[in-house]
A and B are shown apart, each in its own frame.
Chain A
Amino acid sequence: MSPWLPILMAVPVVGAIVVALLPKGSDKLAKQVALLVSLLVLVLTGVVAAGFKPSGERFQFVAEYNWIPSFGVKFGVGVDGVALVLIALSAVLVPIVILASWHDADGVKTADGTLITPKRSVKTYFSLLLVLEAMMIGVFAATDIFLFYVFFEAMLIPMYFMIGSYGGAQRSYAAVKFLLYSLFGGLLMLVAVIGLYFVAGKQTFMFPELVGAIQDPVTQKWLFAGFFIAFAIKAPLWPVHTWLPDAAAQAPAGAAVLLVGVLDKVGTFGMLRFCLELFPDAAKAFTMPIVVLAVISIIYGAIVAIGQTDMKRLIAYTSISHFGFIVLGVFAMSSVAQSGAALYMVNHGFATGALFLAAGFLIARRGSPFIADYGGVQKVAPLLAGFFLVAGLAGLSLPGLSSFVSEFMVMIGTYSSQAHGSGALTVAAIISAVAVILAAVYILWMVQRTMNGPTAEPVKAFKDLNAREVWVLAPLVALIIGFGFFPKPLLDVINPSVQQTLTNVKVPTSTIAEKGTGQ
């Protein structure tokens, strides 16, 4: 029993309560407390990460408490490599987001005085952020499937309020769409969770004990479908992706980062952890249809992104393309592709986070999300333009930046995977490679139209990034470049747990041996 993970979850909850209970008018204090709490969580996460032994047991920092004995539910937490890096991702992003959203609830005004968002309750916003952080840590740390489900659904509520109360003009439509889509998927998963419990007949929801518990292939398929639909909506995969562009475009930039950067990863994380390991036969049986959906997502997301006029929607569509890559990597059933997919989850969080935040700073200066309203920003705000470019290049997976490593691993792993007969996955990899070109189009075109060219009249009044904004973007860019050249620390943590997944899925070991560890 290790108390670390429960502490990690409790700290933001306590912080949220403190922030919510601060007296009226202490907005500044609320922000400072929230930032401090999130930094404390980051430090604690660092301690946990330092104590994690990649070569040790699969689940470390395990803690189990009886929660609802009548249902056989335990408060069971523990992390493997993939869960650990995703928790670390959340812990890194939250303080950055807090810093980035410093003035979001104050009522954002542009340089020429137009009001983008009216003033809202500052305390509520930061308190919701901290609650969300606790739930993000909980959802990745849960080893009890029921507990996972509870966090999976409960984390919708703070995000719902963040979009609905603090978002753009269409916020309530976007918030409701987001909530209903996710809730519907979640409820189907609930049926599968209950079914898993009774069919397995083990009187427990603990994941390690349920691996391999379902043998009947037909039952596996039904339960797999319940889980997979929920995760596909969350991830989001074509054709259930339509909520994401609305939600991400209407959410305040900070919330959009957490939504796309972390919340959606729960979907791909769930596929890797639960869909594959609990229902290996079904996963293999459904590989081809899912790969087809993933390839469609990759191409479709990229093409639609090119056509967007709204920056935040554009970034959301690029994410749909990237999530396609992650899903492709997960279901390619080779260790290189799966390690690449897990790595992609982290890198995408940093890259898209940076891009959303840079776009957010740009939008805050002009009050318009439309690309056409900008031009020539580079001349008046070179720092902003520089960060925007680097973040954009990470989004198109330029070699030397972190996303390149993961995207390359996914494609190589898929190309050479023998999991589903020879050639089928190779074709998928070749088709998805087209997206690399499309990515260059959507990113570079956006950069060109906003940053270069003649300076538009309202843009001339832009101020360059202030110190706070630099502090927001600099760490992300440092991480993007750092992990671009040196991804080994992440891969060392990810690889053993991916190997474990493949062993549980019973992919022929030759496939694993041939490909090495992908470094």
Chain B
Amino acid sequence: MNPAIEAPTIEYGTLAPLLIIFGAACIGVLVEAFAPRYLRKSIHVPLTLLSLAGAFALVLVQTVRGQISTTASAMGAVAVDGPSLFIWGVILVLSFVCVLLINDEGHFVASAAAVPGSADEEEAEAHDNGTGHTEVYPLVLFAVGGMLLFPAAHDLLMMFVALEVMSLPLYLLCGLARRRRLLSQEASMKYFLLGAFSSAFFLYGTAMIYGFAGTVSLPGINKALASGNTLDPLLLIGFALLGVGLLFKIGAAPFQAWKPDVYQGAPTPITALMASGTLVAAVGAVLRVFWVGLGNLDWEWRPVIWGVAALTMIVGSILAITQTEIKRMLAYSSIAHAGFLLVGVMATYGSAQQNAGSLKAILFYLAVYGITTVGAFAVLTLVRDPGGEAGHLSRWAGLGKRAPVLSGVFAFFLLAFAGIPLTSGFFGKYAVFAAALNSGTQPGDSMGGWMAGLVVVGVVASAIAAFFYVRVIVLMFFSEPAADGPAIAAPSMGTVAVIAVSLLVTVGVGLYPESVLGVANDAASSLFIR
């Protein structure tokens, strides 16, 4: 007689934020199918915002109640621990403000299927009254759902599913820019092809590691590492392939090439979502894989990540100097910041307390960097030429005279990216550097001197990076305005709100970082579920 098949247990309460987002995304698809065109937007916007706010509220409730589960949920597939909840909160806030940006008119194409420059396109634009492609909203929700699941996935297969759920909508969204459509379509295509490659790497790596450990569950892999032969070729190949897949997503060198093209081509609100939400999710996933799954392999992976982090910081900051397009420049800046985050990822040696300290630093960095990034991209959407956003840096000359407040805010965001004290960015940078040096001074860490070296590389990269941030400030404030400079669009309420929130957080955390640090500390103190 066959044994009875047990029904899987699902902790619906714990997983509720995820379920809300995916549920709302499915409803959004139904709205697309059944609601009349003129009604769609007015249904989508509240649905999307409410589901994001609701999911955030549920995350808050779980955090405040303090009943954070200590075992993985959904049969060991998803780990909703302190760090996961923090990352969820951050992603939900970031995507909420990004949706406010997306909501603005004129970022998305009227008819994606129309050939650029064709009569079809003209006709679609003529009839477009802001109701064009409302599919954007459910697509964003799916992407956000994937972002939530990605860092919380407790086994490699679940993580792969999350990766795809996150990426596929983003590939599409990248191609929907209203202006410069060929560039946008090119970005979409590049992102898709390279992303597909990296996913394949990830999957192949998963298979290899399964061959070694006999399981895809992260703690299971770690257990196998503790007892098995850590020089097994299956393991090493698997680890390398897995690393490629993950590092691609955060845009670490030498897998960074997609970032500038995609950031430039995608509609700016989508760029904001990718630069903040995707980065946060991907760093969360990197942390979970390396700290939980490969925790016992740190002898092997820490030197590798050392090289990748150093290379990423240097490549990001040096190549950014040569950029003349502001979105490309911010893309390289994002690469450099990914490098700084990797410095924190390496800082795991010694006691649990030390690890919690490093984790706190990374979580804090993610939160403050994400919100500043969204603010900076929100400012970009307002500076416009007749043909769309004024992307070329030379167009920004003398903007400080035309629009002193807007330029001042943008300058402040740039200073935060550069890590000048009394901005949130400084404390983020300080936190990861301190974590790295702390790990290096733990007794017995063979990487001790190397950690100090990495931090020195980090500060050199910061100094280089400061140059190109400052160059934009020089352009805006110290140069004479061009005769036919860009126009400043009248911002909508949503954009004003986004910029205001980002500015408040950047200033507020810069003056009193304990506000966010305390939360990050609580989230990190329990570390990951193992």
Measured CB to CB, the residues of A under 8 A from B are: 67-71, 121, 149-151, 153-154, 156-157, 160-161, 164-165, 171-172, 175-176, 179-180, 183-184, 187-188, 190-191, 194-195, 197-199
B429: shortest Cβ distance to chain A, in Å?
9
Q: Is the CB of A191 within 8 A of B415?
A: no
Residues of A near B433 (CB, < 8 A) are 190-191, 194
Residues of B near A199 (CB, < 8 A) are 441
Helix, strand, loop or mixed for chain B's interface? helix
Q: From B434, B466, B474, give the contact of A175 (CB < 8 A).
A: B474
Q: A165-B478, A197-B434 are in contact. Are A150 and B421 (CB under 8 A)?
A: yes
* Chain B 508-522 per-residue mask, 1 if CB under 8 angstroms from chain A, else 0: 000011100110010
Interface stretch of the complex, out of B326-334, B367-375, B454-462: B454-462
Residues of A near B466 (CB, < 8 A) are 179-180, 183
Interchain Cβ contacts under 8 Å between A and B, 23 examples:
A69-B514, A70-B514, A70-B521, A71-B431, A71-B513, A71-B517, A151-B421, A154-B420, A157-B415, A161-B477, A164-B478, A165-B477, A172-B478, A172-B479, A175-B478, A180-B467, A183-B420, A183-B463, A183-B466, A188-B459, A191-B433, A194-B434, A195-B452
| Chain B, Cβ-Cβ closest to A184 | B463
Residues of B near A175 (CB, < 8 A) are 474, 478
Q: Is the CB of A198 within 8 A of B438?
A: yes
How many Å lie between the Cα of A171 and that of B422 in the bound state?
25
Residues of B near A121 (CB, < 8 A) are 404
Q: From B437, B470, B518, give the contact of A180 (CB < 8 A).
A: B470
A-B CB proximity, top 4 nearest: A187-B459, A172-B478, A150-B421, A184-B463
Residues of B near A197 (CB, < 8 A) are 434
Residues of B near A190 (CB, < 8 A) are 430, 433, 459
B322: shortest Cβ distance to chain A, in Å?
17
Q: Is the CB of A194 within 8 A of B455?
A: yes
A70, A150, A165, A195 pick with most chain B CB within 10 angstroms: A70
Q: From B430, B437, B452, B514, give the contact of A67 (CB < 8 A).
A: B514
B37 within 8 Å of A (CB atoms): no
Residues of A near B40 (CB, < 8 A) are none
9 other A-B residue contacts (CB within 8 Å) besides A68-B517, A70-B360, A71-B434: A150-B421, A161-B477, A176-B471, A183-B466, A187-B462, A191-B459, A194-B430, A194-B455, A198-B441
A130: shortest Cβ distance to chain B, in Å?
15
Q: From B437, B470, B512, give the contact of A191 (CB < 8 A).
A: B437
Residues of B near A198 (CB, < 8 A) are 434, 437-438, 441
A71, A153, A154, A187 pick with most chain B CB within 10 angstroms: A187
How many Å lie between the Cα of A151 and that of B437 in the bound state?
23
| Chain B, Cβ-Cβ closest to A135 | B422
Residues of B near A151 (CB, < 8 A) are 421
How many Å lie between the Cα of A183 and that of B456 in the bound state?
14
Residues of A near B478 (CB, < 8 A) are 164-165, 171-172, 175
* Chain B 438-470 per-residue mask, 1 if CB under 8 angstroms from chain A, else 0: 100100000000001001100110110011001
Residues of A near B430 (CB, < 8 A) are 71, 190, 194
Q: A67-B514, A190-B430 are in contact. Are A176 and B441 (CB under 8 A)?
A: no
Q: Is the CB of A150 within 8 A of B422?
A: yes
A156, A179, A188, A194 pick with most chain B CB within 10 angstroms: A194
Q: Please report which residues of chain B, range 139-176, place their CB below 8 angstroms from some CB of chain A when the two chains form the complex.
A: none
Contact residues on B (Cβ < 8 Å of other chain), bracket: 35 or more
Residues of B near A180 (CB, < 8 A) are 463, 466-467, 470
How many Å lie between the Cα of A38 and that of B232 in the bound state?
71
Residues of A near B437 (CB, < 8 A) are 191, 194-195, 198
A448: shortest Cβ distance to chain B, in Å?
36
Q: Is the CB of B420 within 8 A of A153?
A: yes
* Chain B 357-384 per-residue mask, 1 if CB under 8 angstroms from chain A, else 0: 0001000000000000000000000000
Residues of A near B479 (CB, < 8 A) are 172
Q: A70-B518, A183-B463, A184-B463 are in contact. Are A191 and B455 (CB under 8 A)?
A: yes
Q: Is the CB of A149 within 8 A of B421?
A: yes
Residues of B near A172 (CB, < 8 A) are 474, 478-479
Residues of B near A184 (CB, < 8 A) are 460, 463
Q: From A70, A160, A176, give the contact of B467 (CB < 8 A).
A: A176
Q: Is the CB of B422 within 8 A of A154?
A: yes
| Chain B, Cβ-Cβ closest to A219 | B441
Q: Is the CB of A70 within 8 A of B517?
A: yes
How many Å lie between the Cα of A164 and that of B470 in the bound state?
11
How many Å lie between the Cα of A151 and that of B421 in the bound state?
8
How many Å lie between the Cα of A64 and that of B360 in the bound state?
25
Q: Please report which residues of chain B, range 405-426, place their CB below 8 angstroms from some CB of chain A when the two chains form the complex.
A: 415, 418, 420-422, 426
B427, B455, B463, B512 pick with most chain A CB within 10 angstroms: B463
How many Å lie between the Cα of A70 and that of B360 in the bound state?
10
Residues of A near B512 (CB, < 8 A) are 67
| Chain B, Cβ-Cβ closest to A195 | B437
Residues of A near B517 (CB, < 8 A) are 68, 70-71
B504: shortest Cβ distance to chain A, in Å?
16
How many Å lie between the Cα of A197 and that of B422 in the bound state?
20
Residues of B near A153 (CB, < 8 A) are 420-421, 426
B179: shortest Cβ distance to chain A, in Å?
31
| Chain A, Cβ-Cβ closest to B471 | A176
How many Å lie between the Cα of A121 and that of B441 in the bound state?
49
How many Å lie between the Cα of A149 and that of B426 in the bound state?
11
A218: shortest Cβ distance to chain B, in Å?
11
A105: shortest Cβ distance to chain B, in Å?
14
How many Å lie between the Cα of A184 and that of B470 in the bound state?
13
Residues of A near B477 (CB, < 8 A) are 161, 164-165
B441: shortest Cβ distance to chain A, in Å?
5
How many Å lie between the Cα of A197 and that of B455 in the bound state?
15
How many Å lie between the Cα of A175 and that of B430 in the bound state?
25
How many Å lie between the Cα of A184 and that of B459 in the bound state?
8
How many Å lie between the Cα of A183 and that of B465 in the bound state?
11
How many Å lie between the Cα of A154 and that of B419 in the bound state?
10
B364: shortest Cβ distance to chain A, in Å?
9
Residues of A near B514 (CB, < 8 A) are 67-70
How many Å lie between the Cα of A188 and that of B455 in the bound state?
10
Q: Please report which residues of chain B, range 474-497, place their CB below 8 angstroms from some CB of chain A when the two chains form the complex.
A: 474, 477-479
Residues of A near B521 (CB, < 8 A) are 70
How many Å lie between the Cα of A477 and that of B431 in the bound state?
48
B314: shortest Cβ distance to chain A, in Å?
15
Q: From A71, A176, A194, A195, give the contact of B470 (CB < 8 A).
A: A176
Q: From A69, A150, A176, A183, give the contact of B474 (CB < 8 A).
A: A176
Residues of A near B441 (CB, < 8 A) are 195, 198-199
Q: Please report which residues of chain B, range 208-222, place their CB below 8 angstroms from some CB of chain A when the two chains form the complex.
A: none
A170: shortest Cβ distance to chain B, in Å?
11
How many Å lie between the Cα of A191 and that of B451 in the bound state?
11
Residues of A near B456 (CB, < 8 A) are 188, 191
How many Å lie between the Cα of A154 and that of B521 in the bound state?
26
How many Å lie between the Cα of A418 and that of B459 in the bound state?
39
Residues of B near A68 (CB, < 8 A) are 427, 513-514, 517
* Chain B 256-289 per-residue mask, 1 if CB under 8 angstroms from chain A, else 0: 0000000000000000000000000000000000
How many Å lie between the Cα of A67 and that of B466 in the bound state?
26
How many Å lie between the Cα of A194 and that of B432 in the bound state?
11
